[in-house]
Structure 1
Amino acid sequence: MILKINRGLLLILFWTLIALILRLSWLDSKPPWTDEFSTLVFSLGNSFLRVPLDIPIDIDTLLKPLQPRPDAQLGDVLKNLFTESNHPPLYFLLTHLWVKLFPLESGLVSVFGARSLAAILGGLSVPAIYGLGRLAFNTSLVAEMGAAMMATSAYAIFLGQEARHYTLAILWVIASLACTLVAAKSQISQTKIPWSIAVSWIIVNGLGIASHYFFVLILLPEVLILVLLAWRNHYLNPSYWRRILAVGMGTAISGLVWIPVFLQNSYGGKLTEWIQGERTGIAWISPIFQALAAWITMIVLLPIESPALTIVILAGIAMFIYIIWAVPILYRGWQENLTSSQTHLSTWILSGIVGIAIAQFFIFTYVFGIDLTRGARYNFVYFPAVIVLVGASLAVCWSKPQVNIYNWKITGKMAVVLILLVANLSAITVIGNLGYQKYYRPDLFADIINQTSQVPVLITTTQKTHVHIGEMMGIAREFKLKYPNSPQTQFLLTHQDTNPQTSTIALQTALEQLSRPLDVWVVNFFADLPDNLQTCQLYQSRLPDVDGYEYKLYRCR
């Protein structure tokens, strides 16, 4: 017995250690992108509103919100977050305290420090998913397989290496799913949910909503699956449902407190424009492929974003072959779990929750015009349930003396080892920035500017929200860290609201005031260019494309 306990504990520690090593490896090698800048600025208790607009500013002025203030308090985090963003505060408050433990980088907040919180929380999801798998299937093998997949999943690594709140939200999702399973098993045994579970469930749901508003997307699937289970079993015990109702009311109250905060924010609509819009042509089917791509990366992601085309092609072929081999194995395991009397209930519950959650995503996408499939990170809502189901399928495969897929015979244990090996390769793909690359590459863009311009530089863009400030912060940070001695570099963020001509006028005014020679980099500039820029020479040589930055270079002499 002691040997079994030690073996289980050692495996949990092993996979947790693997998870932490993977998530913390080269953690600050990739530059932060706009969403991470939001985390950094708001967590410091700073504001984007203090960045001057419509006038040229230097690098240090633009990066001032990334400098910690000794007098900043948690209240400043709440004030600025509620005024300028559309996110709940829990993760930002934790980050405010966490980053104080790390030294500054050239006077700026540590990106490694900020990301390490998400990485460690991601590592903690391994023992958490072990517990959920053990609770669901009452076997350590399923729990161990789930822990291994959570440790190495490319999707989990992707979320764990960003200074964002998704790994914290995943922990609350796991805990909420555990409470749902306890409630379901109480139905089967015809007993009431213990008050300790009910109260814990309310607290977990409240903390989940306080971490990410999309956490609510797991609540409806949980409720519906309990209702469907009761309908299937004709279970109408009033005392049971009174406690479920109490949990629902407590959760509703914990969520409703954020509605006034959400409604008072004037930036919410602008910050979510990227997932809204009308559909025409191929846009009607793109959500399906976006969803499929995200699901695939939960189990495999090879270097399909490598700069070498040959590697991209080979990786794509290898992924295709692997998927058509691995999916039947996982599907057969799922089928067997669904038909087995010992594993049917948990498989049915978790599968139902995943199915309902996915249905919600497509309802939001096709009915309400809010394309949740565009953000792969939003799948955190049902990702833990998927991992437990995958772990359960691998447990079935492990016990098979032989697996035969397309006439390729292999032992079940070898098949599982191969799947875990591919998962580890997928994790390394993300760590090496060959998959799930950042949406913005200011590192590449700063290199291009430094190599192309030998005179003072003006980088200009149109600005609507702090997202656009973050785009420029990424470039400024690269210059500060990599090219501190480069020619004078200034930024011009031209504010654009209902009248795009305001940006045109701001750039025209700045050009009249700045001396020559001057290289003007027009970046993500969604307005007419002023006449006095047309007198400058457009750089004709082809420059490389850069993710997140659409640009042109004008040389004013």
Structure 2
Amino acid sequence: MKSRHYLLLVGIILLGAILRFWNLDLKPVWLDEVITALFSLGRNYYEVPLNEAFSLSVLERVFTLNPETSCAQIAQTISSQSVHPPLFFCWMHDWLRWTQTLPLSWVWKLRALPALIGVVSIAAVYQLNRIAFSPAAGLTGAMVMAVSPFAVYLSQEARHYTLPMLLVILALLGLYQMQTDLYHRRIRLGVWVGWMVVNSIGFYVHYFFLLAFVAQVATLLINILTFKALPTLHRSPDAPHTTARTLYLHPRRAFLAVALAATGICLTYLPWLPTFLSHISRPETNWMKPFEPDWMDTIAPLYQLPIGWILMAIALPVEKQPGWLATLMVVLMVLFSVWLLWQVSGRFAQLWSTPDTHLATRLLAVFVLCVLLEFLAIVYILGKDITSVPRYNFLYFPAICALLGACLAQPSRGRQKGSVKSNHHSDIAGQSDPSDTLAERHAARLPRHTLTWAVLLVGVLSSTLVVSNLVFLKPYQPDQVAKNVQTTAETPLLMGMAYGDLQEVALGLSFALALKGQTGDRPGTDSRHYFTFLPKVRPAETTGTQVDDRLQQPSYTYVWENLARLKQPLQSPFAFWMVAPGLKRNEFPPTLSMLHSAGSSIGCVLDRDRFYRLGIPYQLYRCKQ
């Protein structure tokens, strides 16, 4: 039985690895991944050719690894050109140096590290559930993590999501063991120090980890205040029986231990604290604020959060689908989620009412509730709707995953009324659980293995759709933009990107990379396809190729002035595609002008039939002398 158990674990991890590395470089590189690439490759925005027309072949130089860049240099670049902590980018840079000899694309290498961390997270969830619940719950928890479409999606993002997710799992594992220490009135130094190290590292990986840290401390304090007596503890895997006993924590000592540990963690944040405070006040974070707030923005988080929960278990094609098909897919996802919730509610009641599993269930549930309250506070107090971005649910997804896995491992209950049958098969001699009636009323509707297979099959199907680029499409859809631009490939083309900040430069690079990906391998395309960045500021205020962050009040008037001064090498006629973030369709000028490199003027006329908007508007102009 033991060998079969570990064979199942290996199979689950292998399945998760296949799903995460399958079609790893299929999807286009989007804005956030461009940011990851620039910093992790040891580059910065000042190496991007701005305010000039350049061939797409120049991108090969921009996205080539600079192995001489140090972590300190990356941290310095990020402190001024981004709003993220540096550790993930430093580790990614080391990873790219180690893998630079592999005959694989830089996109694959960039996404491989988060995918690998995603695989490790499967094993970490197994360990969390094995210790907190049972070995069977470890397997089902690992299975949920392996096939969750949300987890697969995050694992294929070249971003710092799977790493903090892994750290959250490790932190929750330490948190559970710390909680049991408080009831045993002991301190296992290795557990407490390890928990402190994990939470210290998390801040330097992703700022949102602060929310997880606060939620963990709040969970400990809530349990200290409201759950002072523990009837029994989850038995050790090596012990054959668990005797009935009640353990009492010492509130004052417990508060002191938690306070000292939390203070030690906060001290490790001090070196980066000034940078953190400057980052959270920068305009790059304002995109989460509604442009023109109305009553819909007030209620949006209340349905956006459940949508994110649904995507953790099932994800069917909705984006870019016909209306009838998208509606059908939404209905199917909602029905499955409601059915799954109905199925696990009885099992959750069993976990809550069983003394051996109550502490772990309580800890994970309170942690999730604390994070959700933090999310709502950010939305309604700070005015930044982070619920509109499902990927930010990575912060509490591991706890949801562990709870769902524990519920799936919970056997049916109620056939032998009065008996307590936990997934540990342990009884409390001479006692009957007063909550048996509640558990029986919510008894599982399906046998355990049937429900587990249903979750597994739906997860594999959903994850297959994710890796096939049918679900969780990249924001701004760079591949679709490039495809539309390519419709004018019969003539030379120039693509222009208006920018007012560094994020719009990254967005333009994602379009340029997608265009190069569709045309770069064809002979002669380097001399026919060009790209340019046009600043939304006065031409005299931007010099060379550097971005002056102090420039204020960007305007498209300056974009057209900069375009009129642009010298481009293409012979007319050619197609000019103007990407203009924030511009309305009727605000595109009917005519534009620019210069040929020889000095002659070129006029461009708007093509009224070739306007597109995929989050960002872009318009075709026909240019000739």
TM-score, normalization: structure 1? 0.91
Q: Which residue of 1 aligns with 2:561?
A: 505
CA distance in 2, matches of 1:124, 1:548: 35
Q: What aligned pairs does 1:461-480 form with structure 2 within 5 A after superposition?
A: 461-480=497-516
By how many angstroms is 1:384 displaced? 0.6
Which of 149, 157, 160 matches 2:155? 160
Please state whether the residue corresponding to 1:287 is helix, strand or coil: helix
* Contact 2:181-2:188 at 8 Å conserved across structures: no
Which of 455, 458, 463 matches 1:427? 463
* Contact 1:38-1:466 at 8 Å conserved across structures: no
Indicate yes or no: 2:144 matched with 1:149: yes
Please state whether the residue corresponding to 2:531 is helix, strand or coil: strand
> Kindly tell me: are residues 419 and 531 of structure 1, through their superposed partners in 2, closer, same or farther at Cα, counting changes over 3 Å?
closer
Deviations 1:42-90 (A, max 9, x none): 0111111232333323223355321223433333322222221111112
Which of 526, 544, 551 matches 2:618? 551
Indicate yes or no: 2:530 matched with 1:533: no
Q: What aligned pairs does 1:352-431 form with structure 2 within 5 A after superposition?
A: 352-396=366-410, 410-431=446-467
Deviations 1:406-432 (A, max 9, x none): 9x9753321221122111111112111
Please state whether the residue corresponding to 1:552 is helix, strand or coil: strand
Q: Which residue of 2 aligns with 1:114?
A: 110
Indicate yes or no: 2:296 matched with 1:296: no
Q: Which residue of 1 aligns with 2:121?
A: 125
One-letter amino acid of the counterpart of residue 622, structure 2: R
The percentage of counterpart residues that share the same residue type is 29
Deviations 1:201-225 (A, max 9, x none): 1111111111111001112221122
* Contact 1:134-1:142 at 8 Å conserved across structures: yes
> Kindly tell me: are residues 144 and 482 of structure 1, through their superposed partners in 2, closer, same or farther at Cα, counting changes over 3 Å?
same
CA distance in 1, matches of 2:411, 2:316: 23
By how many angstroms is 1:452 displaced? 2.0
One-letter amino acid of the counterpart of residue 553, structure 2: T
Q: What aligned pairs does 1:161-310 form with structure 2 within 5 A after superposition?
A: 161-189=156-184, 191-234=185-228, 235-263=249-277, 269-277=282-290, 279-305=293-319, 307=321
Please state whether the residue corresponding to 2:592 is helix, strand or coil: helix
Between 315-324 and 422-431, the greater mean CA deviation after superposition: 315-324
* Contact 1:511-1:533 at 8 Å conserved across structures: no
CA distance in 1, matches of 2:409, 2:261: 33
Structure 1 residue ranges, 4+ long, deviating more than 6 angstroms after superposition: 398-401, 403-406, 511-514
By how many angstroms is 1:361 displaced? 0.2
Deviations 1:99-127 (A, max 9, x none): 23445899x96100110100010000011
Q: Which residue of 2 aligns with 1:44?
A: 41
CA distance in 1, matches of 2:97, 2:613: 33
One-letter amino acid of the counterpart of residue 12, structure 1: L
CA distance in 2, matches of 1:95, 1:356: 31
By how many angstroms is 1:177 displaced? 0.9
By how many angstroms is 1:552 displaced? 0.9
By how many angstroms is 1:310 displaced? 5.5
By how many angstroms is 1:194 displaced? 1.6
Q: Which residue of 2 aligns with 1:520?
A: 576
5+ residue gaps, structure 1, are none
Please state whether the residue corresponding to 2:122 is helix, strand or coil: helix
TM-score, normalization: structure 2? 0.81
One-letter amino acid of the counterpart of residue 329, structure 1: Q
> Kindly tell me: are residues 301 and 121 of structure 1, through their superposed partners in 2, closer, same or farther at Cα, counting changes over 3 Å?
same
Q: Which residue of 1 aligns with 2:598?
A: none
Indicate yes or no: 2:533 matched with 1:493: yes
By how many angstroms is 1:248 displaced? 0.6
User: For this pair of structures, how many residues does the alignment match?
Assistant: 548
Cα-Cα RMSD? 2.9
CA distance in 1, matches of 2:413, 2:464: 28
* Contact 2:413-2:440 at 8 Å conserved across structures: no
CA distance in 2, matches of 1:147, 1:398: 21
One-letter amino acid of the counterpart of residue 471, structure 1: L
By how many angstroms is 1:530 displaced? 6.0
* Contact 2:86-2:204 at 8 Å conserved across structures: yes
> Kindly tell me: are residues 492 and 400 of structure 1, through their superposed partners in 2, closer, same or farther at Cα, counting changes over 3 Å?
farther
One-letter amino acid of the counterpart of residue 271, structure 2: V
5+ residue gaps, structure 2, are 229-248, 416-438, 537-551, 594-602
By how many angstroms is 1:309 displaced? 5.2
- Tell me which structure has the larger Cα radius of gyration: 2
* Contact 1:12-1:126 at 8 Å conserved across structures: no
CA distance in 2, matches of 1:434, 1:551: 24
Deviations 1:289-339 (A, max 9, x none): 221111111111122236455643442332233122211012221122112
By how many angstroms is 1:356 displaced? 1.1
CA distance in 2, matches of 1:556, 1:405: 73
One-letter amino acid of the counterpart of residue 533, structure 1: L
Indicate yes or no: 2:389 matched with 1:321: no
Deviations 1:220-242 (A, max 9, x none): 22112211211124544444433
By how many angstroms is 1:133 displaced? 0.8
By how many angstroms is 1:512 displaced? 9.3
By how many angstroms is 1:24 displaced? 0.2
CA distance in 1, matches of 2:490, 2:360: 64
> Kindly tell me: are residues 377 and 214 of structure 1, through their superposed partners in 2, closer, same or farther at Cα, counting changes over 3 Å?
same
CA distance in 1, matches of 2:67, 2:202: 30
One-letter amino acid of the counterpart of residue 270, structure 1: P
One-letter amino acid of the counterpart of residue 120, structure 1: L
